[in-house]
């Protein structure tokens, strides 16, 4: 009887539980069904990205070069656009944004992003705060439309905007960039809203600067507008990048170059300052430049078109992307090749008669004359030191290709060996600086030319390399093409005793993010500066001393005897080499050198393309002013106010 009672109680309890459950189910489905249906229609859970701030870029003294300024983006989540209302929403949003973009353009953007319907598509970047507030207030009339806070890069520029090429700029991630970065950097949680580097350091070091995005759970309404945060996510700011650039020196070099160019009525020029002991680039200026803040917010078509078609090529960095015929600054390469191959010695003398006549073996009257830059005045007896100091074309013609006027059987370097020694100095290929798009230049050789198929303007059918080509190559003419960065590095190699460094523009990177490895718990040095040596000890010390002395005498010879007289200053005690190279549109004016002579610290290379004047008159005074800036000497005079009207004295020679 007792057992039967327990069984009845258990059965009653089970029936009661099922009754309660059935009642609750009826209540939820019938009584509250319409309520929960409305909630389901209007509220969903989404995983929203928490955008990381991009890392900051500093100069070598810790001066901040870029900021993350607050801004707003207008966005549309494709899934949030109700059926049949797209045209109305796009039209209203376009009017709010000043008809830029148009409703048709908005529709195109949304269509292109239909493949990720729950992710916001950026309709317009960096709208004003007042427009952002208006979009948020009109959310009932603009379902699917959002105004989200973001940041815009704000670059700290000098008046010449000389850092724009180096810093570059960032922009909204492209479709291919998005696919590549999702694959390469899965730990950084890349989204389609991310800003990524497009040029300069912003692009080259984007994996460090980008930061690591976070994720948070949010509740959104039927228009995909966040209404409540359910769990907060955190992002990690990108790493800090410290450049080798000294922003103050960069500003001064840009000012010096701009003043000189303005004085002679030119716009294009480039200058590089390198630490000869490490390969660190302390300043690198290319003019004209551009305002990279224009690209932080989408640049207008009119502005972009004006930059693209500007004959000064402001979007290209002439210091490491521009290639130019080097002219007589190449003679240091020829001198090295001559000494290293035994063609030249410190005591061997060549008589500079002002010209070399090359006559046909078949017709003594068919002659080609190669004149020196001082023609008709000869320079007289020259050894390698004095030939560098006075930039004797006849001496370097003779070293490069021989001189039948002296001895038809005399030894000479030849084009192929000259090509080899140019490559030893890092010419003919990119040096590997941490910037995208570095040019390698070009150094010809007889082997290259003889294998070359006929090419208009380069090689005619049946042509072979001849002694005249070697002469031109030996004084930096012909097909020789170099960058100012390469020639600054050549100078640094001569100054420091023969160590060819890879030029560097990144001093160190600190932060928490190591690309492809994840986030560390604390800030640390991710990438320290370590000098990178390409090669060393490839020049005999005795030969190097002769080249150094020749460059020193170029500055220190009495009066106007040396070609670098405009750099003569006992406070600086520089060594250097002038260059004047024939080029379409007018001669390129060069100067390269280092200081102080007995304890070298910096190398400087300056080029003024199409200056139609000699390097001694145009480029050398700019270099002198740069030395004064670096060593903090009081200017002796505005060096760029020299007479630059003197034109080239020879169609063959190069000073």
Q: What's the pLDDT at 166?
A: 98
Cα dist. 551→282, 562, 565 in Å? 22, 9, 11
Query: Which position has the token pair 């990144």?
Result: 506
Is residue 346 within 8 Å of 363, Cβ to Cβ? no
227: its two tokens: 């209404």
Q: What's the pLDDT at 652?
A: 52
Q: What's the pLDDT at 650?
A: 41
Helix (H, G, I), strand (E, B) or coil at 294: helix
* Pairing assessment for the beta strands 66-76 and 145-155 based on DSSP bridges: antiparallel
Task: Count the residues in the chain.
Answer: 655
- Please return the burial class of 510, using the count of CB atoms within 10 Å of its CB with bins 0-12, 13-18 and 19+: middle
The 10 Å Cβ neighbour count of residue 210 is 28
Q: What's the pLDDT at 365?
A: 76
Tell me the whole-structure pTM to 2 decimals. 0.88
Per-position DSSP letters for 418-460, written without gaps between them: HHHHHHHTTTTS----SSTT----B---HHHHHHSPPBTTTB-
Segments making up each domain of the chain, as ranges:
74-149, 327-498+537-641
Q: What's the pLDDT at 438?
A: 98
Q: Which of 157, 151, 197 is nearest to 174 (CA)?
A: 197
Q: Please state the CATH superfamily assignment of the domain spanning residues 327-498+537-641 in this structure.
A: DD-peptidase/beta-lactamase superfamily (3.40.710.10)
Is residue 591 within 8 Å of 567, Cβ to Cβ? yes
Ordered mean pLDDT values, 10 residues apiece, the chain (655 residues): 63 69 61 48 71 95 96 92 92 94 94 87 91 92 92 93 97 86 82 89 96 85 77 88 98 96 95 98 98 90 94 96 97 98 96 91 79 92 98 97 92 97 98 97 94 83 88 96 98 98 98 89 94 97 98 96 95 97 94 98 97 93 97 75 42 60
Is residue 255 within 8 Å of 160, Cβ to Cβ? yes
Q: What's the pLDDT at 453?
A: 85
- Please return the burial class of 35, using the count of CB atoms within 10 Å of its CB with bins 0-12, 13-18 and 19+: exposed
Q: Which of 489, 326, 353, 485 is nearest to 418 (CA)?
A: 326
Q: Which residues contact 478 (CB under 8 A, 6 or more apart)?
A: 325, 444, 469, 472
User: Cα–Cα distance between 197 and 515 in angstroms, integer?
Assistant: 15
């Amino acid at each position: 009887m007792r057992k039967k009672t327990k069984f009845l109680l258990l059965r009653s309890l089970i029936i009661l539980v099922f009754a309660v459950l059935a009642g609750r189910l009826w209540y939820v489905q019938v009584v509250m069904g319409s309520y929960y249906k409305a909630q389901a229609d209007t509220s969903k859970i989404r995983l929203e990205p928490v955008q990381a701030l991009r890392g900051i870029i500093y100069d070598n003294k810790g001066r901040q070069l870029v900021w993350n300024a607050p801004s707003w983006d207008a966005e549309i989540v494709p899934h949030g656009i109700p059926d049949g209302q797209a045209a109305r929403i796009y039209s209203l949003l376009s009017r709010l944004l000043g008809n830029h973009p148009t409703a048709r353009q908005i529709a195109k953007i949304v269509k292109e992003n239909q493949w990720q319907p729950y992710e916001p598509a950026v309709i317009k970047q960096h709208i004003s705060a007042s427009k952002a507030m208006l979009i948020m207030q009109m959310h009932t009339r603009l379902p699917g439309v959002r105004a989200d806070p973001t940041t815009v890069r704000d670059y700290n520029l000098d008046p010449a905007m000389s850092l724009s090429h180096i810093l570059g700029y960032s922009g909204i991630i492209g479709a291919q960039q998005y696919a590549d970065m999702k694959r390469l950097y899965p730990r950084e949680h890349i989204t389609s809203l991310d800003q990524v580097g497009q040029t300069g350091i912003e692009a080259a070091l984007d994996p460090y600067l980008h930061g690591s995005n976070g994720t948070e759970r949010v509740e959104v309404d039927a228009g995909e507008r966040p209404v409540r945060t359910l769990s907060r996510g955190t992002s990690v700011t990108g790493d800090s990048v410290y450049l080798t650039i000294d922003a103050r020196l960069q500003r001064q070099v840009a000012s010096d170059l701009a003043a000189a160019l303005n004085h002679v009525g030119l716009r294009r020029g480039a200058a590089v300052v390198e630490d000869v002991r490490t390969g660190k680039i302390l300043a690198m200026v290319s003019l004209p430049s551009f305002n990279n803040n224009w690209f932080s917010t989408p640049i207008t078509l009119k502005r972009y078109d004006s930059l693209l078609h500007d004959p000064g090529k402001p979007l290209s960095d002439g210091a490491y992307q521009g290639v130019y015929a080097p002219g007589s600054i190449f003679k240091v390469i020829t001198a090295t090749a001559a000494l290293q191959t035994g063609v030249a010695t410190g005591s061997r003398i060549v008589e500079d008669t002002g010209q070399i006549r090359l006559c046909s073996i078949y017709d003594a009257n068919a002659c080609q004359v190669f004149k020196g830059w001082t023609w008709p005045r000869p320079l007289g007896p020259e050894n390698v030191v004095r030939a560098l100091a006075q930039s004797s074309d006849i001496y370097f013609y003779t070293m490069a290709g021989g001189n039948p006027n002296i001895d038809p059987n005399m030894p000479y370097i030849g084009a192929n060996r000259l090509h080899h020694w140019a490559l030893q100095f890092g010419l003919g290929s990119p040096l590997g600086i941490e910037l995208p798009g570095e040019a390698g230049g070009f150094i010809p050789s007889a082997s290259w030319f003889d294998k070359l198929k006929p090419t208009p303007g380069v090689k005619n059918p049946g042509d072979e390399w001849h002694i005249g080509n070697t002469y031109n190559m030996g004084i930096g003419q012909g097909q020789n093409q170099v960058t100012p960065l390469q020639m600054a590095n050549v100078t640094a190699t001569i100054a420091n005793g023969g160590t060819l460094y890879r030029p560097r523009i990144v001093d160190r990177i600190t932060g928490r993010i190591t690309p492809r490895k994840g986030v560390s718990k604390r800030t640390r040095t991710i990438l320290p500066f370590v000098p990178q040596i390409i090669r060393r000890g490839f020049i005999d010390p005795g030969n190097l001393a002769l080249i150094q002395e020749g460059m020193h005498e170029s500055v220190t010879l009495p009066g106007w005897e040396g070609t670098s007289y405009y750099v003569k200053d006992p406070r600086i005690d520089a060594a250097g080499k002038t260059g004047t190279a024939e080029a379409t549109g007018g001669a390129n004016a060069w100067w390269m050198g280092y200081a102080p002579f007995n304890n070298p610290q910096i190398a400087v290379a300056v080029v003024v393309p199409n200056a139609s004047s000699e390097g001694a008159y145009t480029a050398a005074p700019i270099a002198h002013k740069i030395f004064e800036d670096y060593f903090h000497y009081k200017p002796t005079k505005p060096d760029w106010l020299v007479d630059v009207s003197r034109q080239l004295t020879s169609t063959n020679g190069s000073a």
